[in-house]
């Protein structure tokens, strides 16, 4: 099977132009086929504020009513996505900017209302890995914004970590896939206040211990849940690392490697 690297870059790097440039330069040096999934950072919140649209967050997740959906579509699928694509072109990476709606690549359903109504938020139902494989065969590097679509023709805001995991799992039917989550930390930390306390290898038992102790908490938990789910469903390797170290993490080893 061909090797494929699926990389998700976190929002805090998107917010910092210098950090984003360093990441994209490192990303461009990774050999072979690769896919990039990006978040939107605080830019959507800033644009919404300028437009007089209120931002509501619950447990770190954005409530996406119709006005906010318009904003995240413009920002994630437009501004952020095309800026990344343009920078990659300058780095000799022939990137193609996509949302899940483009070529029907990522189908979702609107999240059912339980305790909280998240609005126009999508839970992924299906990834068309054959279509994504077609782009890769054309020597294109897909760059996905975290927007999906429904069979009713709706656009839906979708968690970028989840989107990266879903794409990696489905692409594992065709490729030997390494999934990488990049952000502003050096990896999963044993002490959240010590950037050098990187846990170099993490398995489910050790993960449970750190959660119980509280050293792994908040936003890292859903990221790791997605990562272990990917390992359980065919992805060969999952790495969590600093955005500046993405190339070395893939090629030599850096950050935290997850094992079953």
CATH code for the domain of 28: 3.40.1160.10
Measure the CA–CA gap between 242 and 250, rounded to whole angstroms: 12
Least confident span in 41-50, 84-93, 175-184, 233-242? 41-50
User: For residue 123, which of 156, 152, 153, 99 has the smallest C-alpha distance?
Assistant: 156
**pLDDT tens by residue, 184-225:** 889 999 888 888 899 999 999 999 998 888 888 877 888 898
Task: Tell me what pLDDT residue 153 has.
Answer: 96
Please indicate if the annotation marks 81 as binding a ligand: no
Helix (H, G, I), strand (E, B) or coil at 259: coil
Summarize the confidence of residues 57-64 as an average pLDDT.
Answer: 81
The rounded mean pLDDT for the chain is 93
Helix (H, G, I), strand (E, B) or coil at 236: coil
239, pLDDT greater than 80: yes
**pLDDT tens by residue, 139-162:** 999 999 999 999 999 999 999 999
59, pLDDT greater than 80: no
Helix (H, G, I), strand (E, B) or coil at 212: helix
Please indicate if the annotation marks 104 as binding a ligand: no
Work out the pLDDT band at 173, boundaries 50, 70, 90: very high
Q: What domain count does the chain have? A: 1
Q: Within its chain, how far is the Cα of 245 from the centroid?
A: 16
For residue 77, the enclosing domain spans 2-258
The answer to whether 150 and 110 have CB atoms below 8 angstroms apart is yes
Least confident span in 52-66, 119-133, 234-248? 52-66
Helix (H, G, I), strand (E, B) or coil at 100: coil
- In order of 27, 51, 103, 202, 231, the CA distances from 130 in angstroms are 24, 39, 11, 32, 21
Please indicate if the annotation marks 11 as binding a ligand: no
What is the maximal distance between C-alpha atoms in the chain? 50
226, pLDDT greater than 90: no
As a dihedral over the C-alpha atoms of residue 169, residue 172, residue 41, residue 125, rounded to 10 degrees, the angle is -40
Please indicate if the annotation marks 111 as binding a ligand: no
């Amino acid at each position: 099977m061909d090797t494929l690297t699926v990389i998700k870059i976190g929002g805090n790097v998107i917010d910092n132009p210098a950090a984003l440039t360093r990441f994209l330069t490192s990303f461009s040096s990774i050999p072979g086929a690769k896919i990039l999934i990006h978040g939107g950072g605080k830019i959507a919140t800033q644009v919404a504020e300028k437009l007089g649209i209120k931002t509501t967050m619950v447990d770190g997740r954005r409530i996406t009513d119709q006005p906010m959906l318009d904003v995240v579509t413009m920002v994630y699928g437009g501004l952020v996505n095309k800026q990344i694509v343009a920078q990659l072109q300058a780095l000799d990476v022939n990137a193609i900017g996509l949302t899940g709606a483009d070529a029907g690549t990522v189908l979702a359903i609107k999240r059912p209302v339980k305790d909280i109504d998240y609005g126009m938020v999508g839970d992924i139902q299906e990834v068309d890995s054959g279509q994504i494989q077609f782009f890769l065969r054309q020597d294109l590097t897909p760059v996905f914004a975290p927007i999906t679509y429904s069979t009713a023709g709706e656009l839906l805001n979708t968690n970028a970590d989840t989107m990266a995991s879903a794409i990696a799992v489905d692409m594992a039917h065709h490729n030997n896939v390494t999934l990488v989550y990049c952000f502003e930390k050096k990896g999963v930390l044993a002490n959240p206040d010590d950037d050098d306390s990187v846990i170099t290898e993490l398995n489910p038992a050790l993960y449970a211990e750190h959660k119980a102790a509280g050293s792994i908490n908040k936003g890292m938990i859903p990221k790791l849940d997605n990562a272990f789910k990917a390992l359980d469903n065919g992805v060969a390797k999952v790495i969590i690392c600093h955005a500046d170290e993405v190339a070395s993490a893939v090629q030599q080893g850096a950050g935290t490697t997850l094992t079953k």
